[in-house]
Amino acid sequence: MLKLKNILSVYIAAWFVLAGFSIARYAKILAGKCAFFTNGWLMCGPQSQLSNLEKSGIVIFIIAFFICFLAAAWLLWKNNDQTIGLPKKLKWLLLSLGVLAVFVVPLGTTDMPFDFSAGKAISSGLNPYADPWVHQVDFTDQGVSYIPANYFPYGPIAAEAFRWVYKLSGDRALMFMLAWKFFMLLTLTGCGFLTMKLGRLLSNNTNTTTRYVLWFAQPILLWEWVVNGHFDGLWLFFLLLAIYAAHTKRWWLMVPALTIGIWIKFVPVLLVPFFALWWGQ
């Protein structure tokens, strides 16, 4: 138990360090001293302006953090039964890591500029399915990083979500990113709640404390879902809601939940035949 507590304490401290570096960078962004979303990540400069030592430092920094994250995930999984006996304060810190993840600068994702550009285009009255529009590849250089967008692969509900978060941001990339990531944190929480409800149904109401800690402290979920702001959690929430409704025979809820999930991203349409068979039984 002591080894698990020590590793998890280092893991939590790592998230605080990442969030601290990121918040320091936001201050420079708002002051106009730093470009957002550069390849230099937390170093506040594009790769072309970094020395070999700085580049090596970034690589070592990233590798070290991810080794720590993966070690924590493995220990959480291997010792999941011991999480029940963790100190209450440590449990709450693990459960609140998503808040820190909201403030960590994204790494290696182009989704955020695409979502921001889509929201901007839709807010200006363009139809992303029919009208030509452009999106940014990167927020670093807002003058030359635009490319034509000849597709919009998501549903109309996703389009509305991009539009409303863009309007809320006031055409500021940083505000859009923080608002969107907070929205994704809410979907992570919602999906976690539904996962625990399903777990309780499928495991005869056994203690779900372990599952809560495993869900909200997993580094891969936190990184891809909240740090990088991938919006798949939005349709996943409604898919899980549809599964829960089907399990509890609430068919009046299953159909609209699945429909909303499909209108966010079209992937859940592949599961319609399985839900139809489920309903038929």
Read off the pLDDT of residues 128-154 as tens digits, 9 standing for 90 and up: 888 888 877 666 655 556 777 777 889
C-beta pairs of 218-222 under 8 Å, 24+ apart in sequence? 218/73, 218/76, 219/11, 219/66, 219/69, 219/70, 219/72, 219/73, 220/69, 220/73, 221/188, 222/97, 222/98, 222/101, 222/188
Radius of gyration of the chain (CA): 21
Both tokens of 58, joined, read: 């970034």
Least confident of 41-55, 78-92, 127-141, 267-281: 41-55
- Between residues 62 and 38, the one the model is more confident about: 62
pTM for the full predicted model:
0.86
Least confident of 71-75, 153-157, 252-256, 257-261: 71-75
- Percent of residues, the chain, with pLDDT higher than 90: 26
